[in-house]
Amino acid sequence: MREKLTDETALVLISGFDTYVREFNELTDLTPAFFKARDWKAMQQNHRKRLRLYKDQVRTTRQLLSEMLLENANSFDFWKTAKSHYSQLISNNRDKELAETFFNSVIRKSYSGLAINEDLMFVHEGYNSCVIYPNDNLYHSYPSDWGLKKIIQKILEDFDFGVPYMNKEEDIEFLIKSVKDVILTRYIPSAESTTQVLKSVFYRNKGAYVIGRIKIGNKWMPFIIPFLNGPKGVFADTMIFDPNLMSGLFSFSRSYFMVKADIPSQLISFLNAVIPNKKIHELYNAIGFNKHGKTEFYRDFLNHLNQSQDQFVLAEGVKGLVMSVCTLPSYNVVFKMIKDYFDPPKTMTRQEVREKYKMVGLHDRVGRMADTHEFEEFHLPLDRIDPTLLEELRSTVNSLLYTTSDELILKHVYIERKMVPLNIYLENCTTEEARQAVEEYGDSILEMAKANIFPGDMMTKNFGVTRQKRVIFYDYDEIEFLTDMNFREKPIPETYEQIYASSPWYDIAQNDVFPQDFKRFMIGRNDVKNHFFDFHTELFNPDNWKEIQSKILSGQGIHAFSYPQKIRFRPGEEI
């Protein structure tokens, strides 16, 4: 009887997973039509629906199992057998790595109090080898003997997007020149030279990205061609060879791509060859399988723990009023926990903070907000915890901790990419670096605004600087939708009482914002303060904020360029 139940459990699990993958692909397949129709609102809504899909399907599957399992829900032996049966069912799957993660997600929600357990979960991959599938359906191949012009022409034919090109011949000339300037000045094509371009298009926001590589001079030269669909038709916007810019397209601060992945691991393998400095979990995140990205991250983290000896310590920067933050110096992430009590002037609840993080997770991060993985029951080796950190955590987030003889368990934690806090960066950088950083700081705020996000607390301690010197926002407890804010001119005092009033003499509603006041707290470094004020005058003008609100409310979607405007073939071309 129990054997039958474990079989049925495995079948419910695989059915739930298959439903998730089918619906994921159905939503992904809608994207080209939205791009073709320039229906950016539908594109965004569809993306948000896909982001919700995984949790919804895990919840549905768990509910089905709870009705079946009853007292078996917390049986170690039962789940161990169910895992074995499930593993056999997925053995021929082309996406078995995703199926393993789905199993982990469901058992964590079904087996109360379950911590990470290798016997019951796929902590490490259940398969030590994978099938090598033919690449015929993965990419187009273009032999070198065609000549450069024919190759470019054929690429544009293969990716017509169902929309007339704005000026195909001009695009061809732009692309030819790019290849000549970057590659053919250094390498000479041979009979072995070839060009491979992924058949799957990477859609995000208003862009469609074609990714490929050229084998020349016994090495692969990767490239990305962003296409845009403007009022005059589709056009190639630029051609990217710079590895830093290519890496930036897959940044942790950008929303996930909508891209067809028939065999996810195969697509990831190609991307890993093209963008080698991105870790596997970052690439899975980027193509929308962020839950498996979370699994891959955890595996990478475990490997790093085994290969390092340093201790977890408090993260650098000003201590937050809402979060306690720690890090492992040798690993490039921070661990953030919501405090048990918030110091004034913070008045929100822990649940409200969690809702803000969910809000960001479902929003277009436009390259300015850090992606976050949320974990429950996260285990750390107790002997690797610095005593000062342990004391701090016990005084600030004690309700989220418990210990065993050898582990510190975090009941709830957010994990984000580590960055240098902007306030610390500004204390230690040159004047020229500081000028660039404050320009980036203002750009970050304005780009979030155009995506309908008002950061709330805009102090520099809430922003970080990446390796590429890009400024990213990472403190979400006070964010609001920009359209919910009321931007006002600050009233001018007219009487003696008003001039010398100890508190505002005018009414202030909860969501009132006075941009003129931003100057009082935004930049403290004197040698760049005036440069910042002059460079970003629009930040302090209520009318500018109202204009952004108006554009958002009228349905004018913005495009978050993930490369510099100066490298566009046609700078300023409308989209």
**Crossing angle for the helix pair 542-553 and 431-450, to the nearest 10 degrees:** 40
**Crossing angle for the helix pair 2-29 and 40-69, to the nearest 10 degrees:** 180
Tokens, residue 411: 């009941």
Specify the pairing of strand 401-403 against strand 407-417. antiparallel
Contact 292, 93 (CB under 8 A): no
Sign of the alpha-carbon torsion through 489, 495, 499, 504 = negative
Please tell me whether the peptide bond between 329 and the residue prior to it is cis, using omega within 30 degrees of 0: no
Question: How far is 137 from 156, CA to CA, in rounded Å?
Answer: 18
Q: Which amino acid is at 556?
A: Q
Distance of CA 400 to the CA centre of its chain: 26
Whether 371 is catalytic is: yes
Q: Looking at residue 550, what DSSP letter applies?
A: H
DSSP string, 368-426: TB---EEEEEEEEEGGGB-HHHHHHHHHHSGGGEEE-SSEEEEEEEEEEE--EEHHHHH
Tokens, residue 560: 């978050």
95, 371, 475, 477: the catalytic one is: 371
Tokens, residue 340: 């048990």
CB atoms within 10 A of CB 29: 11
Question: How far is 221 from 211, CA to CA, in rounded Å?
Answer: 11
Torsion angle (degrees, nearest 10) of CA 100, 104, 105, 110: 140
| Positions marked catalytic | 371
